[in-house]
Amino acid sequence: MKRHRFESADILVVDGQVLDGSRPALLANLPGILRGEGVFESFLVRDGQRPPFLDLHNTRLHHSAALLRMDLQGRGLSEDWSHLAGLLGAGNWRVRYTVLRGLQRSLIRMWTAGVADPPPHEVDLVLSNCRLDPAHPLAGAKTTSRAAYQVAHAEAVEAGAFDAILPTIDGDLAECTSSNLLLWSDGELRTAPLERGILGGVTRQILLQSCLVGGLRVRESKIWQKDLAQTAEVLVTNAVIGVIPVCRILGVDQVFPGARGPAAVRIREIYSEVVAARARAASSSSSDPAAESKP
């Protein structure tokens, strides 16, 4: 595939073909458009390098597709990365890979990318009125059907917050609309378990594993609203912003230290070290001519 140099912020690749992102590219009658039958993954790409955790995003993509009864036919992020590689220049890019159901059981595979804004230093959250059902058959799938999340995010924007925390139908707190929620208290990092219907965030997964290796206690258990008023620090995570401390949760009578929190500083250091180490390993493998043939 011919490589192009893009001066604009937007990049669009559909089924391996580079297109003009300012012009229509998909048919309006695709099931993926009309009914939201699609799965996707979003993450940060630095200086055009292969993301260090692309394999984990690929695994989650296939998991989401299986829940949606969508056969990816053995192709996903790892196989299609070459369609985007070389199109991204220096700097940080917010990248999304989407697979939509097309006509007659076909699939539309699409890359979109834009220059990423610097992540916030610290954020405020709000409690949403929207609720998640942990027993829903698509709970934990990252699909393009996101109306409820968009309504909750609009609540956050209207309140002047970065994101909204979604409770479950049982009343415990699950996740935010585009990030996982973590609490720090009494020397322990705590987050809701996957069976509460949350998305198994890649950053969440890496962070929990890394904190355990780093000697920090980690626990997955139900989180209730009363816990927010008793915890020392709060963080949110996703694969674009990384790990971001929380200052306030609107409606909760507690002010958190945000980026000044000692746990936040340590946890972010742990995550940055793991990302850097994984990136170095990935770079070393890609520069080894025999790497592709190694078991």
Please tell me the distance from the alpha carbon of residue 87 to that of residue 153, in angstroms, as a whole number: 31
Q: What pTM was computed for the model?
A: 0.91
**Among residues of the chain, what percentage have pLDDT more than 90?**
87
Q: Calculate mean pLDDT across residues 88-117.
A: 95
β-strand partners of 98:
40, 110
Alpha helices in 128-201 (DSSP H): 147-159
Residue 103 burial (CB count, 10 A):
11
- Residue 16 has which token pair? 């391996």
Cβ(40)–Cβ(57) below 8 Å: no
Whole-number pLDDT of residue 279:
85
Whole-number pLDDT of residue 8:
42
All domains of the chain, ordered by start, with CATH?
11-115 (3.30.470.10), 123-278 (3.20.10.10)
Per-residue pLDDT tens for 241-252?
999 999 999 999
State the average pLDDT for the chain. Answer: 92
Q: Calculate mean pLDDT across residues 146-170.
A: 97
β-strand partners of 18:
13
Give φ, ψ of 143 to 5 degrees: -105, 165
Handedness of CA 11, 16, 18, 20 (dihedral sign): negative
Whole-number pLDDT of residue 287:
56
Band (pLDDT 50/70/90 cuts) for residue 61 is very high
Biggest distance spanned by C-alpha atoms of the chain: 57
Please tell me the distance from the alpha carbon of residue 60 to that of residue 78, in angstroms, as a whole number: 12
Band (pLDDT 50/70/90 cuts) for residue 284 is confident
Q: Calculate mean pLDDT across residues 199-210.
A: 96
| pLDDT of 288 over the 60 cut | no
Q: 131: which DSSP letter? A: -
Residues written for the chain: 295
